[in-house]
Structure 1
Amino acid sequence: MGQNTHKAVIAVLAETLPGERRVALVPADIGKLAQYDIVVEAGAGLNAGFVDEDYSAAGGKILARAEAIAAADLVLAVRAPDFAGFAPGKVVISLGGRDAAVADAAAKAQILHLGMERLPRITRAQSMDVLSSQASIAGYSAVLEGARHLDTLLPMMTTAAGIVRPAKMIALGAGVAGLQALATARRLGAVTYGFDVREAAREQVESLGAEFVFPDVPDAKAEGTGGYAAAQSDDQQFRLRRALTEALSRTNLIITSAQIPGRVAPILIDEETIAAMLPGTVIIDMAAETGGNVTITKPDQIVRHGRVTVIGPTNLPSAAPTDSSRLYSGNMRTLLTHLCKAGPLNLQAGDEILDALAGDQALPARAAA
């Protein structure tokens, strides 16, 4: 894993998680990575709309899974593979950097797992930020999913039979996903509102034509490191829920996306709040994978509480796998270019980005100049 004199080999694997339709590298990016030899597992891009012939035409070599893994210096995936058939010392780059089960499996298999969630929030790493690129797709998809389950239409319509009033939509959490949800809902004609515990989010919410909701709850508003919201106590969360109830009782579509890295998602909506909602209200809980922002959320299930529907999708980017794969691939291409920016592949300690991706795992020491 130190300096290499040969051209490093990248393997692009097919995803094995049910419902995962993305691929880690698309054909268009293969030609932009001439410093690597690239092998692709047969069928890796099919679910995202990319056939093997596309990869071959771009310069990739199609291999069976075991052959691709065996040939690789770096293995790329969207979701962390189970490491079955991986020789000790292999390097895998994928999501799963905050998953304890992935970390344990990698340690047991003696695999260096570079988790993309660990990417540092610094300016020169922005073009590698898969969490942001995929959150943008997820925010868009969340609104479409919510609209599909609503009993009403999002836009206002004037017809000979009467007027259809526009639906009201609110995004709880004004990160990348929440802001994209607001932009999408507004384009579809909804009246939009945005909430975040960070006062700094007001300008972004209002720039999208939404009204910023900021309940007067002392000590419940906080900004953590890296632009994320800070964790709140149970009491702060309770008081915030009660303060939000009035605003939520007047909305038809609610998109929640409040998450704190490495922590269980904060509870923003409980059963008392749900009881006050309009009949037919739909909640899309984008934080379902980390516990959910709603007390009754169940991952990848639809839960009905009276006339309110709560949906907890955990893989919204896969709803648009072609574009989400293109964005993920672009992030990955930038990272791979960075790893070879000074010549042969270098996975030694001392690089701010690489050190962050490795987390607590040991990297080879950088040789003294």
Structure 2
Amino acid sequence: MESAVTVRPSELEIRNGEEPAGVGNFDTPALEMAKRIGVPREGRDGERLVAATPATVQKILKLGYDVVVEHGAGTAATFADDDYVEAGARVVPLDEVWGSDVVVAVHAPDDRRLGLLREGAVLVAQLWPGAHPDLVTTLAERGVTALALDAVPRISRAQALDTLSTMSNVAGYRAVIEAAAEYPGMFTGQVTAAGKIPPANVFVIGGGVAGLAAIGTASSLGASVRAFDVRPEAGEQIESMGATFAHFAAGQQEVSGDGYARELGAGQEAATLRLYAEETARADIVITTALVRGKAPRTITSEMIAQMKPGSVIVDLAASGGGNAEGTVPGQRIVTDNDVVILGYTDLPSRMPAQTSQLYGTNIVHLMGLLTPGKDGQVMLDLEDPVQRGMTIAHDGAVLWPPPPVQVSAAPAADVAPTKSGEELAAEAAAATVAKARTRGIRNTVLAGLGFLLATLAMTIGAEEFLVPFTVFALAVVIGFYVISNVSHSLHTPLMAQTNAVSGIILVGALLQLGNSNPVVTVLAFVAAAVASINIFGGFLVSRRMINMFRKDA
């Protein structure tokens, strides 16, 4: 049987005339005619996603492929068969789809569909090879080239193919929507004639893709959001989404080399559990996203749930890995004895089928573009490319899982420090806080002393006509500092409008002083006019850009 894929060897292997074990014959020819890509209807019960939408089909056709779609493949995602036909695809029965040269799907096929795959075909789907070794072996025995979309290496060049990030992003957004539907209160705080309503308190565990999506959604709904991640480098990202980062040094790791969390030591785990107990007790909604290599660590214990307020909601996004919260049942809604709702839904991306399918299909378009460098409908698999090799789990009768490690940094691995107890970590964190406060206090004292000295010197030797404007200036600096530093981030736009007005006054005063007989006054007036003009025009440009973000016709 002729293979649907051509494999590109490395130059070293060609020079040595050697063939790497388990990779196959490098002389396998590509088919003369364009390959046929099949898009099946998902066989899993309740699944609403589809691996290609009419929009992504058009992009695949531009790569030179022929596309066939199974009858009703996109119906549950609101895409009719006629939409695919209009996009340029052919609608065919199940057997013809699974008999294609390349089959792109969302999930692994069942035994019936697996039996329809021909030898030499290419299967692209989320296959979870680590959890399903038997499936990998079966695919290899059938001579199928299997590419697992969930095994894309976590490197920047592969982000466009990363379906896990796609699914996590949608799940994080949908988690907040589900929580809002369950929560018996308002997310946004309100001040009415009948009284004041505080905003909902949301606590998010994890600052990955899902966590950041949940933070952004909850913040946009008006909730007061706090979040924690064991990776200290995630704090800046959390705060950029509008949440407060729950600083707790004793429960954090050192900066991770690959950007992803590792399992915590015993001391760190105990420290984080104390933090989670405090945060969950005050939270109305808790969203957990912690997964370590597909396994969900326990972050919310039954004791913590017992201390939560009645009506509180926990959305466990790690339910597929066993759940972060004690009591989570994958796929179900649970209500505890103290009326806390625990949502363990595992189909959150499927609850937004049209958008998720579009994003997932775009990931596949990027992959097919990588596999089709000539845009001629010919699959060219390059096993020397760490991205393609990392996701290839079976090829030409050989099992290629697990892949070789991806070199993400040329720097030597850092020495692993011995695990410290929770008490030691807490003591170190407290000492660091005290030292930082002492340093800040010394700096403020020195600056205050210098300011007082300069002010005293100016009042002692300065003329009377100098003292009055200098006093006004000093008071304005002090008042301005305390006013602006305490303005909420959400009020920075109106604050900018006020500073534009102040800059206008400064500009007028500077223009009146230009041409003064005193050259020092003239120079200062020119500088003030220039700086004020920059602030005014820049402020108006920024304000206009922000206003256009809320205009429907922009």
- The TM-score normalised by the length of structure 1 is 0.92
Structure 1 residue aligned with 2:138: 108
Do the aligned partners of residues 19 and 85 (structure 1) sit closer, same or farther apart at CA in structure 2, a change above 3 Å counting? same
What CA distance in whole angstroms lies between the structure 2 residues aligned with 1:307 and 1:233? Answer: 33
Say if 2:84 is the partner of 1:55. Answer: yes
Secondary structure at 2:369 match in 1: helix
The answer to whether the Cα contact below 8 Å between 2:231 and 2:256 also exists between their aligned partners in 1 is no
1:5 aligns with 2:32: yes
Please state how far the C-alpha of 1:157 moved relative to its aligned partner: 2.3
| Corresponding position of 1:120 | 153
Task: Compare CA radii of gyration and give the structure with the larger one.
Answer: 2
Q: Is residue 148 from structure 1 mapped to residue 181 from structure 2 by the alignment? A: yes
Q: Deviations over 1:168-222 (max 9, x none)?
A: 001100001110101100111100111100110111111112100132425x525
Instruction: Report deviation, 1:348.
Output: 4.7
2:519 equivalent in structure 1? none
Conservation of the 8 A alpha-carbon contact between 2:199 and 2:222? yes
- Give the secondary structure class of the aligned counterpart of 1:171: strand
Q: Provide the rounded CA distance (Å) in 1 between the counterparts of 2:289 and 2:120.
A: 37
Give the Å deviation of 1:364.
8.8
Task: Tell me the distance in 2 between the aligned counterparts of 1:280 and 1:274.
Answer: 11
Counterpart AA for 1:294: A
Q: Deviations over 1:44-78 (max 9, x none)?
A: 011111111111111101111111111x1111111
Q: Which has the higher contact order (CA 8 A, sep 6+)?
A: 1
What is the distance in 2 between the residues matched to 1:45 and 1:141?
Answer: 21
Any idea what SS the aligned residue of 1:228 has?
coil
One-letter amino acid of the counterpart of residue 246, structure 2 = V
Determine the C-alpha separation between the residues in 1 that align with 2:255 and 2:108. 30
Asked whether 1:81 is paired with 2:109, we answer yes
| Alignment of 1:346 onto 2:375 | no
Residue of structure 2 in register with 1:26 after alignment: 53
**C-alpha deviations, 1:285-327, integer Å up to 9, x for none?**
0000011111211101112222211111112111111111111
Aligned to 2:273: 241
**Aligned residue number for residue 65 of structure 2:** 36
Helix, strand or coil at the partner of 1:7? coil
Which aligned pairs between 1:1-369 and structure 2 lie closer than 5 A?
Answer: 1-2=5-6, 3-33=30-60, 34=62, 35-70=64-99, 72-82=100-110, 83-101=114-132, 103-109=133-139, 110=142, 111-217=144-250, 220-222=252-254, 224=256, 226-233=258-265, 236-261=268-293, 263-305=294-336, 306-342=338-374, 344-359=378-393, 361-362=394-395
Give the % identical residues: 36
- In 2: Cα distance, 1:43 partner to 1:125 partner: 31
* 1:63-101, Cα deviation, whole Å (9 max, x unpaired): 11111111x111111111112432343321111234533
Take 2:167 and 2:221, find their aligned partners in 1: how far apart are those partners?
A: 21
Report the CA distance shift for 1:77/1:170 in structure 2 as closer, same or farther (over 3 A): same
1:4–1:346 contact (8 Å) kept in structure 2:
no
Change in 2 beyond 3 A, CA 1:106/1:64: farther
Tell me the amino acid that sits aligned with residue 310 of structure 1: I
Q: Is the 8 A contact 1:215 1:244 kept in 2?
A: no
Deviation at 1:225, TM superposition (A): 5.0
Post-superposition CA distance 1:138-162 (Å, at most 9, x none): 1110000011111211111233333
Cα pair 2:129 2:135 within 8 Å, conserved: no
Amino acid corresponding to residue 193 of structure 2 in structure 1: A
- Inter-CA distance 236–362: structure 2 relative to 1 (3 Å threshold): farther
CA distance, structure 1, for counterparts of residue 211 and residue 182 of structure 2: 19
| Secondary structure class of the residue paired with 1:346 | strand
More helix by share: 2
Question: What secondary structure, in the 3-state scheme, does the structure 2 residue paired with 1:77 have?
Answer: strand
Structure 1 residue ranges without an equivalent (≥5): none
Q: Tell me if the contact between 1:289 and 1:314 (Cα under 8 Å) persists in the aligned partners.
A: yes
Pairwise CA distance, 1:363: 5.6
Q: Give the TM-score normalised by the residue count of structure 2.
A: 0.62
Task: Tell me the C-alpha RMSD between the 2 structures.
Answer: 1.9
